[in-house]
Amino acid sequence: MNSAITTTLMQWEWIERPSDLQYVEGGLAGIITAVALLIGWGLSRLIYLRLAAIWERRAGYESQLARRRIRDMLRRFTTAMIVGMALNLYEWQLIASVVYGITLAITLGLFINDLVRGVRMPDWLGTFLGVTVFIAILASMFGGLDPITTAMDRVGFNIGARRFSLLWAVTIVLTVLVLYTAARVVTRMMGHVITSSDGLDPTQKLLGQKIASVLVIVAVFFIGVDMLGIDLTALSFFSGAFGLAVGFGLQKTIGNLFAGIILLLDRSIKPGDVIAVQDSFGWVNKIGVRAVSVITRDGKEHLIPNEDLMTTAVENWSYSDRNVRMRIPVGVAYTSDMQKVQRLLYQAVDESPRVLKKPEPKVWMTDFGDNSVNWEIRAWISDPEGGMGNIRGDVLMRVWNLFKENDIEIPFPQRDIYIKELPGMGGGEKDRAQTPPAIDE
């Protein structure tokens, strides 16, 4: 028993106990950390509303949650930067390094968590990446990741010259998640910048967003291949067959992709245009990678492949001019006062709120029909996506009310039959004379 105690005391003598200088540095590190937290809190309170206003102006929506997240991200990022600069300005000893390391790990982990959730990524992904950053910073501050990676690499097996281990699987998962998150963040930021640009029209903004998304995906792919150390030359034997299979399998998809880009480049069809394609009539909601979304007046959304819009005749009501002329026929009785009819028709169309004043509406007598004198109202509107039937119905209802108030008759087809003589009724005596006499038995 005594020998065990003696051995334990001898072991403790070899452990380096903290000196007074370490305690002083630890206290100074605590003060610097507290000051960094205070500066981060004050700076976030001072300018987070301005940053939130910039974000709302570029993103196009307001959110209290977004404002709080911007405030928290600014506070944590400021604290981490101040602590990081203090850590690199001096060779701190153990206690101070622990204070700085824990502060950096917590602030940057929370910052990554808020950033990932702020771009509308899943909450679990933000938590996972935040915890990963926390562990990575702590491990790098105290001995590095070599012991952890070595232990994870031992759990696995070899296939030829390739090592498949737990470290390999974790590396792939982390790389994919980090690159996916980075791609989403960069894509959203570029999308907001393009959307808020005043020098681009809606079509050019949409085209810019699509091109930016494609460039980001390509860049992330090659960065991921480089980070994972994948040698693409090893797949050269299968590249021909694989490319041929992909070419046949994705022929329509690639065709629709390029068709959509061409539609945006030549601006023949733009979001907001009112188009008619075969049996589909409505306004273009968006131009996607594969299809164009057309919303009808019934609320149905038709997805028309981009290639169809390139090869099929499309009636674009707002291609070069959004003004559309509509024709409304009206018939009146021959006994009506035609000058009064014309005046009432002008009044009806002028009172309709959606009818444009310029170009002016016109009322014409078109022809003399079988039952009526036919007129036609020709009026212009600038919002065909609002529907044609409702404006036509509004004008006709106003015409009906004005004609009723002014005793103008709207005729309808009718036939009058005149009977000159019914069978058995005319020439009575002659008919009776030709009737044979009755025979008495």
pLDDT per position as a tens digit, 136-185? 777 776 666 666 667 667 777 777 666 777 777 777 887 887 788 788 77
- Rounded CA-CA distance 286/292 in Å is 6
Q: Is the pLDDT of residue 397 over 90?
A: yes
Spatial CA neighbour of 275 closest among 312, 233, 232: 312
Of the ranges 46-50, 108-112, 351-355, 384-388, which one carries the lowest mean pLDDT score? 384-388
Angle of helix 94-118 relative to helix 123-141, nearest 10 degrees, comes to 160
Provide the percentage of residues in the chain whose pLDDT is more than 90.
6
Buried b / exposed e along 86-123 (16+ C-beta atoms within 10 A): bbeeeebbebbbbbbbbbbbbbbbbbbbbbbbbeebee
Secondary structure of residue 439 in the 3-state scheme: coil
pLDDT of residue 67: 75
The reported pTM is 0.47
Max mean pLDDT among 154-158, 293-297, 343-347, 355-359 falls in 343-347
Q: Where are the alpha helices (DSSP H) in 119-145?
A: 123-141
In the predicted model, what is the mean pLDDT of residues 304-332?
82
Q: Are strands 315-316 and 324-332 parallel, antiparallel or unpaired?
A: unpaired
When pLDDT is cut at 50, 70 and 90, the band that residue 400 belongs to is: very high
Tokens 């880009």, residue? 261
- The number of beta carbons lying within 10 Å of the beta carbon of residue 297 is 14
pLDDT of residue 438: 47
pLDDT of residue 13: 43
Contact 276/317 with Cβ under 8 angstroms?
Answer: yes
* Beta strands per DSSP E along 291-323: 291-295, 301-305, 315-316
pLDDT tens per residue, range 187-200: 877 777 777 766 66
